[in-house]
Structures are given as C-alpha cells and as structure tokens.
Amino acid sequence: MKSHERIEVADELGECVLWDDIAGAVWWTDIEGRRLHRLDWATRTLTHYRTPARLTAFGFVEGSREFIAAFDRGFALYDPVSGTVGTLVCPEGLDEGQRMNDGRVDRQGRFWAGGMMEADDSRSEACLYRLVGGQVAVQMRAIGIANGLCWSPDGTVCYFTDSRQGTIWRFAFDPGTGTLSDRTEFARSAAGACPDGATVDSEGSVWSAQWGGGCVIRYTPDGQIDRILDVPVSQPTCVAFGGPDRDHLLVTSARCGHAAGETGAGDLFVYNVGVRGLKESRFIIGTWPQATESEG
C-alpha cells in the first residue's frame, strides 16, 4: 500500500500523534527538536510551536485548550498557543539518566506516561506513572523504554510496550480504579525492530509502529499478526487514527540515528487503511497543585 500523503517536517524524533476531533486537526511532537506541530485537516495548514523543554507526550484536556503534558522532567498543564506552562509535577523515580517518554489519556480521563533510560545500555530502572488530577502514582517499575500505551474499545484491556525488551504486554484493566493486573506477553518484535507507539482500532486490533523495522504491524486481539503496513522510512515511531471519520492512520517517524539521510525520515505519513479508530479521551484536570511538589 502506498502512502496517501506525506507531510514534510523532518523531525529529529516525531512522536505522540493525536487527532483533535473538536478542532479537526492533527497534533504531534518532535521531542528532540523541541517543536509541536498542528496540521489543520481541511486546509492542510501546518503550524509549528516551540516547546519550553522536550515535550515527550501530551493529551487533550476536557473543557480547555491546554494540554496535559509530559515534559522530559515531569508533568504540567501546557498551552501551546500562548506558551504558558503551569506548575511542574516531578514524579518519584525519574532519576538522573532518565526522561519521560510516551503517554496517553485513558477512557476515564486519567493520564498515563512512562519514563525511559536515555543511555544506550541495558538498564531498566524507569517507571510507569498514572496521573489523576495533579497526583502522580507509580504503577510499574523496572522499565527500559515505556511506549505504546493504549486501551481496548471497552476499556478493560491495557496494552503497554517496553521497547528495550522488544515486547508488548497485555494487562487486565479495571476502568473504575485504574488498576493493572494479570500481565501477559501480547507480542514480541522480530530481531532488528522494536515496538514503539501504538493504538487500538474500533475492531479491537492493535497497531504498533516498528522502530528499525520500517513498518506498522496490526495485531488481532489475540496477538496474531493480521497486517503489515510497510512505510518508506526505517524508524516509524507512533501511530493514531485521524480524519473526520477516523479512518486514516497517522504515522510519525524519526531522522535521528541510523535514519539520518533517509528520504522522508522525520516526516508524518497518512494512510487510508479502511479501518476506523477510536475517539481520543480527554484529561480531567481536577485539582492541580499550585506549587512544585518535588525537585525530581
């Protein structure tokens, strides 16, 4: 299948692509380039915002134009238009040599995001966090690179990727309490590829970008490979469904590392895949702290 469209942005590390159904726009971040992009779907107008720090992940906020943001050192409310950043909440366990990484809002309005080890070694000391209002709680430890958070259509299954382990994990998820349990291996990437960002479609299948593999894999709910979508760059990073009918797969990519010099590396690719995605949930702010809780 050929790409329906390529949006040229040449990101160092494009990530966290989301469809804003209210504004009819696609948003995504270039973590290392410290840029946030907004693509108006109807006009194809592309707007760029400079970020005050490395923006690793974000989610839309209920009733606000602010984002809930995971910056490299912690969580904050962030208005990309004005550039305003609220109080930074620095989570426990985000130690030297780590930064925040991928995240997503669950169907009940909680924001989840995990950390990663920045050094190119085998340590796995990062954490997965759950953010309710301004309160952060550690949900998992001993993570190498947190990625691929997404939920089944009914919200009772959570998928989570540790890219360093090359594994997508499946958890039973309690929507009421936000509790993870019964971890099982869902899928493991082939040698030379790492599972990166992921999303779930309306049929309950998981789409996973394969860093180093030059493709996006669609897994059925039982973990079987259903479809392999080849992309023209080696480092696809994250996926989401967008467009008015949420039937276009949006794929970010990176031009850092081994992809330097590849044509199209760092661009956004848009595919009409004939499957619809799910509506993105929005973060419920609750009570946000007025002063920094800790210096992490």
Residue 178: exposed, middle, or buried by beta-carbon count in 10 A (0-12, 13-18, 19+)?
middle
Cα–Cα distance for residue pair 225/245, rounded to 1 Å: 25
Neighbouring residues of 120: CB distance < 8 A, sequence distance ≥ 6: none
Catalytic pick among 162, 196, 201, 267: 196
Cα of first residue to Cα of last residue in the chain, in angstroms, is 45
In angstroms, the Cα distances linking 61 to 111, 220, 237, 284 are: 10, 30, 23, 6
Residue 263: exposed, middle, or buried by beta-carbon count in 10 A (0-12, 13-18, 19+)?
exposed
DSSP state of 90: P
Cα–Cα distance for residue pair 266/35, rounded to 1 Å: 12
- Tell me how many helices (H) and strands (E) the chain has: 0, 24
The answer to whether the beta carbons of residues 220 and 208 sit under 8 Å apart is no
Q: Is 11 a catalytic residue?
A: no
The answer to whether the beta carbons of residues 59 and 103 sit under 8 Å apart is yes
Biggest alpha carbon–alpha carbon distance for the chain: 50
Cα–Cα distance for residue pair 243/23, rounded to 1 Å: 11
The tokens for 200 are: 């779930």
Cα–Cα distance for residue pair 92/242, rounded to 1 Å: 34
Residues assigned a catalytic role = 196
